[in-house]
Structure 1
Amino acid sequence: MEESVKRFIEKHQLLRPGQTIVLGVSGGSDSMALLHYFNEIRSKQDLRIIAASVDHGLRGEESRQDLQLVADICEEWDIEFKGVQCDVASYKQEHKLGTQQAARTLRYQFFHEMMQEAGADALALGHHGDDQAETMVMQLIRGTNIDALKGIPITRPFATGRIIRPFLSVSKQEIRTYCKKKGIRLREDPSNQEDTYTRNYLRLHVLPLLKEKNPRLSEHLQLMSERVREDLSYLNAQAEQALKAVVQLEPAGPEAAFDIVDFQTLPTALQRRTFHLILNYLYDGRTMDLSYIHEEQFFAMLDPVVANARLDFPDNLSLHRNYGRISFYFGKKDESSPYHFELQPGESIMLPNGSELTAKTTACRDAKEDQYTFACDVTHVKLPLIIRTRQDGDRMTLKGMSGSKKIKDIFIDQKVPIEQRADWPIVTDQSGNILWLAGLKKSNIGKKDSQGNWLQLHYKYKEEM
Structure 2
Amino acid sequence: MKEGDKPSPGSDWPTDLSGPVTALPDHSRVWIAFSGGLDSTLLLRVAAACHGSVTALHINHQLQPDHEQTEQFCRAVCQALGVRLVIERVDVPVGCSASGGLEQAARDARYRVFRSHLQAGDLLLMAHHADDQAETVLFRLLRGSGVDGLSGMPAYRPLGEGSLFRPWLDISRERLEQVAADIGLDWIEDASNRSEVHDRNYLRHSVMPGLKQRWPELLKRMSRSAGACADSARLNRRLAELRWQECGDGQGRIRLDRFRQLDEMEQRNLIRWWIENNGWPVPSMASWRQVLAELLDAADDRAPELRGEGFTLRRYRGRLYLVPEVTVPGRPAELRPGQPLRWGAWTLRLEPMEDGASPETPVLPIRVSTRQGGERVKPSPGRPSRALKTWLQEQGVPPWERARLPLVYEGAPGAGELVAIGNLWCSERYSGSAPAAGWRLVVEREFD
The alignment's TM-score, normalised by the length of structure 2, stands at: 0.61
Q: Residue in 1 aligned with 2:35? A: 26
DSSP-derived class of the 1:112 partner: helix
Cα distance in 1, alignment partners of residues 146 and 313 from structure 2: 22
Deviations 1:61-94 (A, max 9, x none): x22111222221222222222223333348x779
TM-superposed CA distance for 1:189, in Å, is 0.6
Q: What pairs with 1:101-116 in structure 2 (closer than 5 Å)?
A: 101-116=104-119
Compared CA separation, residues 265 and 4, structure 1 to 2 (3 A): farther
Compared CA separation, residues 259 and 312, structure 1 to 2 (3 A): closer
Matched, 1:55 2:98: no
Q: Residue in 2 aligned with 1:274? A: 270
Cα distance in 2, alignment partners of residues 155 and 276 from structure 1: 22
Instruction: Decide whether the 8 Å contact of 1:21 with 1:120 is kept in 2.
Output: no
Q: Residue in 1 aligned with 2:256? A: 259
DSSP-derived class of the 2:249 partner: strand
Compared CA separation, residues 93 and 141, structure 1 to 2 (3 A): closer
Deviations 1:163-185 (A, max 9, x none): 11111111111111111112111
DSSP-derived class of the 1:51 partner: strand
5+ residue gaps, structure 1: 332-336, 338-349, 356-418, 420-465
DSSP-derived class of the 2:169 partner: helix
Cα distance in 2, alignment partners of residues 144 and 89 from structure 1: 27
Cα distance in 1, alignment partners of residues 210 and 223 from structure 2: 18
Cα distance in 2, alignment partners of residues 15 and 316 from structure 1: 34
Q: Residue in 2 aligned with 1:71? A: 75
Q: Residue in 1 aligned with 2:368? A: none
5+ residue gaps, structure 2: 1-12, 325-372, 374-385, 393-398, 400-448
Cα distance in 1, alignment partners of residues 279 and 38 from structure 2: 34
Q: Which shifted more, 30-39 or 81-90?
A: 81-90
TM-superposed CA distance for 1:199, in Å, is 1.2
**Structure 2 counterpart of 1:35, from 16, 30, 44:** 44
Instruction: Decide whether the 8 Å contact of 2:280 with 2:311 is kept in 1.
Output: no
Q: What pairs with 1:46-445 in structure 2 (closer than 5 Å)?
A: 47-60=52-65, 62-89=66-93, 98-116=101-119, 121-248=122-249, 250-251=251-252, 256-260=253-257, 262-266=258-262, 269-280=265-276, 284-287=278-281, 290-301=283-294, 310-314=304-308, 317=312, 319-320=314-315, 327-328=320-321, 330=323
Instruction: Decide whether the 8 Å contact of 1:170 with 1:219 is kept in 2.
Output: no
TM-superposed CA distance for 1:99, in Å, is 3.0
TM-superposed CA distance for 1:130, in Å, is 1.1
Cα distance in 1, alignment partners of residues 177 and 206 from structure 2: 19
RMSD of aligned alpha carbons: 4.0
Cα distance in 1, alignment partners of residues 97 and 247 from structure 2: 43
Greater Rg over alpha carbons, structure: 1
Instruction: Decide whether the 8 Å contact of 1:143 with 1:291 is kept in 2.
Output: no
Instruction: Decide whether the 8 Å contact of 2:155 with 2:165 is kept in 1.
Output: yes
Q: Which amino acid aligns with 1:258?
A: R
Q: Which amino acid aligns with 2:54?
A: I
**Structure 2 counterpart of 1:4, from 3, 16, 19:** 16
DSSP-derived class of the 1:157 partner: strand
Deviations 1:356-402 (A, max 9, x none): xxxxxxxxxxxxxxxxxxxxxxxxxxxxxxxxxxxxxxxxxxxxxxx
Instruction: Decide whether the 8 Å contact of 1:301 with 1:321 is kept in 2.
Output: no
TM-superposed CA distance for 1:241, in Å, is 1.8
Q: Which shifted more, 33-42 or 224-233?
A: 224-233
Compared CA separation, residues 63 and 236, structure 1 to 2 (3 A): same
Cα distance in 2, alignment partners of residues 52 and 173 from structure 1: 25
TM-superposed CA distance for 1:106, in Å, is 3.3
Cα distance in 2, alignment partners of residues 72 and 318 from structure 1: 51
Instruction: Decide whether the 8 Å contact of 1:55 with 1:86 is kept in 2.
Output: yes
Compared CA separation, residues 3 and 272, structure 1 to 2 (3 A): farther
Cα distance in 2, alignment partners of residues 259 and 89 from structure 1: 43
Cα distance in 2, alignment partners of residues 8 and 270 from structure 1: 38
Percent identical across equivalent pairs? Answer: 24
Count of residues in Structure 1 that have an aligned counterpart in Structure 2: 325
Cα distance in 2, alignment partners of residues 144 and 278 from structure 1: 18
TM-superposed CA distance for 1:96, in Å, is 10
Q: Which amino acid aligns with 1:142?
A: R
Cα distance in 2, alignment partners of residues 297 and 140 from structure 1: 23
Matched, 1:14 2:12: no
Cα distance in 1, alignment partners of residues 55 and 280 from structure 2: 31
Instruction: Decide whether the 8 Å contact of 1:211 with 1:217 is kept in 2.
Output: yes
Cα distance in 2, alignment partners of residues 156 and 172 from structure 1: 22
TM-superposed CA distance for 1:122, in Å, is 0.5
DSSP-derived class of the 2:230 partner: helix
